[in-house]
Amino acid sequence: MARILVVEDEDNIALALEFLLTRDGHAHSRLSTGNAALATIRKERPDLVLLDVMLPDISGYEIVELLRADPGLSGVRILLMTARGSLVEKRRGLALGADGFIAKPFEPSELRAEMTRLLT
């Protein structure tokens, strides 16, 4: 299965994601800050990053921009997640280079479908 990095600062959401990923057989780890995520992505190069937009230090949008500017990391798949799921937010995330966008709260089946699309 895939190596997935969860970058989410809200414990309840992160626990739900970790439960789903474990049940589906994915190797995963979780971080709650953007700066830690950048360092981990550079070091571990996960197959997919589930990235919250609103983090305590830097935004998910900034992380996407930094990753896409680095040729060595431009292939890392990123699924942005946010409670602000407006069309404007979605367009912004995709324009910056995110591979997918999902609004919270989401159904597990919706998340699985996006993950499958991004991992195949």
DSSP assignment letter at 50: E
- pLDDT value at residue 83: 87
The 3-class SS string of 87-101 reads HHHHHHHHHHCCCEE
Rounded to two decimals, what is the model's pTM? 0.95
Q: Which residue has the tokens 């069309």?
A: 87
CB neighbour list of residue 97: distance below 8 Å, 6 or more residues apart: 64, 65, 67, 68, 74, 78
Report how far residue 40's alpha carbon sits from residue 103's, in angstroms, rounded to the nearest whole number.
24
Which domains, from first to last, does the chain contain?
3-119 (3.40.50.2300)
Query: pLDDT per position in the chain (120 positions), as tens?
Result: 899 999 999 999 999 999 999 999 999 999 999 999 999 999 999 999 999 999 999 999 999 999 999 999 988 999 999 988 678 888 999 999 999 999 998 999 999 999 999 999
Inter-residue contact 113 to 120 (CB < 8 Å): no
